């Protein structure tokens, strides 16, 4: 969970600093989140790297006409206070302009995918 929050905050900070590429710690859950961010169009790509026993991802940030593809993130579930939602309670982020990310029994899903599959879960963060 903390690696997910760390990953999206690093990406946000990378966009704010106008970086082209950032590095995030590597884990399976981080890889799932990065794959969803690519499918939603928030990042371009990522590559898995390893230095000794330390694994990490190099993430290519996406800009369109010099503007970042994502402007902000709202962390919903925190280590001290988890937020779980049913499928019918999944929020619409900025009337569909943003995306909610959930951790479900089927892995990391976007809000739209979870609603379609009628799955609830832990609401991790909203991004727009």
Domain shared by 63 and 121, yes or no:
no
pLDDT above 70 covers what percent of the chain? 98
How far is it, in rounded angstroms, from Cα 74 to Cα 82? Answer: 14
Task: Provide the residue range defining the domain that includes 50.
Answer: 2-68
Is 110 in contact with 36 (CB distance < 8 Å)? yes
How far is it, in rounded angstroms, from Cα 109 to Cα 117? Answer: 10
User: pLDDT-based confidence at 1, cuts 50/70/90?
Assistant: low
Q: Which of 68, 99, 114 is the last residue of a domain?
A: 68
How far is it, in rounded angstroms, from Cα 117 to Cα 77? Answer: 21
Domain shared by 78 and 58, yes or no:
no
User: Mean pLDDT, to the nearest integer, of 8-17?
Assistant: 96
pLDDT at 70: 84
Domain shared by 96 and 113, yes or no:
yes
Q: Which of 68, 87, 106 is the last residue of a domain?
A: 68
Mean residue pLDDT across the chain? 94
pLDDT at 31 over 80: yes
């Amino acid at each position: 969970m903390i690696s997910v929050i760390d990953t999206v905050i690093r990406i946000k900070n990378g966009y704010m600093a106008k970086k082209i590429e950032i590095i995030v710690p590597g884990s399976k859950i981080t890889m799932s989140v990065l794959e969803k961010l690519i499918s939603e169009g928030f990042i371009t790509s990522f590559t898995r790297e390893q230095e000794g026993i330390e694994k990490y991802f190099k993430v290519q940030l996406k800009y369109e006409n010099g503007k970042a593809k994502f402007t902000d993130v709202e962390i919903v579930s925190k280590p001290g206070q988890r937020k779980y939602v049913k499928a019918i309670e999944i929020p619409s982020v900025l009337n569909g302009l943003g995306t909610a990310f959930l951790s479900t029994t089927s892995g990391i899903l976007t809000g739209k995918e979870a609603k379609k599959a009628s799955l609830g879960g832990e609401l991790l963060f909203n991004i727009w």
